[in-house]
Amino acid sequence: MNLLEEKFLEHLKLNLNFSNYTLIAYKHDIDVFYDFVNEKDLDFENFSRTNIRDFIKYRLDKKDSIRTVKRRISALNKFYEYLVKNNYIQTNNFVGIRLKSRENTLPNILFESQINRLLDENNKRTDFYKERDQAILELMFSSGIRCSETINLKLTDVNFSLNVALINGKRNKQRYVPFSPNAKQALISYIENTRKVLMNKSPNYEDKKYLFLNKNGSKLSARGLEYIFKTITLKTGISFDFSFHPHSLRHTFATHLLNNGADIKTIQELLGHSSLNTTQIYTHVSLEKLKEDYNKYFPK
């Protein structure tokens, strides 16, 4: 990591209160960009629009999704904006860069029958980590919390009397989210059994504060949570026609609420979206489901 990148990340952390999870994402996107600049021997300070188009094509050829490239461009725009503002460089050519979507950007969701089968089959497991994994599934599905919010959840953030959890979201914005009675039961079973064993494996007292722990008794990482989701599909023998990952449950949570009559503003608050525009994607998902049912059941 070079000095300019270090200063930028420090700015995001100290002045904008970005979470560690977000900082890691920004660092990764900038590092990917620097790799491209160095490989192609380009001028970092005068990175032109043509260079940007080449970078986009390069990342797409590397099998980045459109969404991933959009995120990288957004991160680099913010990076260059900071550099210009602080007189490190003269021009930010990332301003106004737009990518045309070449893929379906609607989120993948699980239908009610699918999520019920997944929860039932996972609960039949007999291995040691079953209770932890079941608690994760039940909590994430019934609350819609993000991957980063799940791994950063502390035991003291969970109120079992009210069935709510205090969530520290993006940019340290806090909100309360409810969770289901099934999630409560799964969490209690995990805490009283699996978690007690895992806690004894780590000498680090700070790790013991977090709700979900890995096999070493340490705080669960984002990569670790993604791995758990992969093992769940393997251990249950259930597969989907898309890649099942932690965000799948968040999408499913929001879409099910909307389909059952929840107000879009309520969903926005539960998800912790700062803008209603972000939440509107789930109205499109519901429309897609409506069209699918229409085409399926309307007599030809």
Active site residue 247: yes
> Considering 27, 175, 247, 289, which one is annotated as catalytic?
247
Residue pLDDT, tens place only, 3-39: 999 999 999 999 988 888 889 999 999 999 999 999 9
- Domain boundaries defined on the chain: 3-85, 112-295
Mean pLDDT, the chain, rounded, equals: 90
Active site residue 34: no
H or E segment at 198?
helix 194-199
Fold of 3-85: DNA polymerase; domain 1 (1.10.150)
> Considering 11, 170, 175, 235, which one is annotated as catalytic?
170
> Considering 72, 146, 195, 219, which one is annotated as catalytic?
146
> Considering 72, 208, 219, 250, which one is annotated as catalytic?
250
Sorted by sequence, the CB contacts under 8 Å of residue 273 that are 6+ apart come out as 279
pTM (2 d.p.): 0.68
Q: Domain 112-295's class? A: mainly alpha
Interatomic CA distance for residues 279 and 220, integer angstroms: 28
Model pLDDT, residue 151: 95
Active site residue 282: yes
> Considering 26, 82, 190, 282, which one is annotated as catalytic?
282
The number of beta carbons lying within 10 Å of the beta carbon of residue 171 is 13
Residue pLDDT, tens place only, 48-83: 988 998 999 899 988 888 889 999 999 999 999 999
Active site residue 170: yes
**Cα four-point dihedral sign 39, 40, 43, 48:** negative
Interatomic CA distance for residues 195 and 212, integer angstroms: 8
Q: Helix or strand or coil: residue 174?
A: strand
Model pLDDT, residue 103: 47
Q: What are the residues facing 218 on neighbouring strands?
A: none
Taking the CA of residue 126 as centre, how many other CA atoms within 13 Å lie in the half-sphere pointing to its CB?
Answer: 0
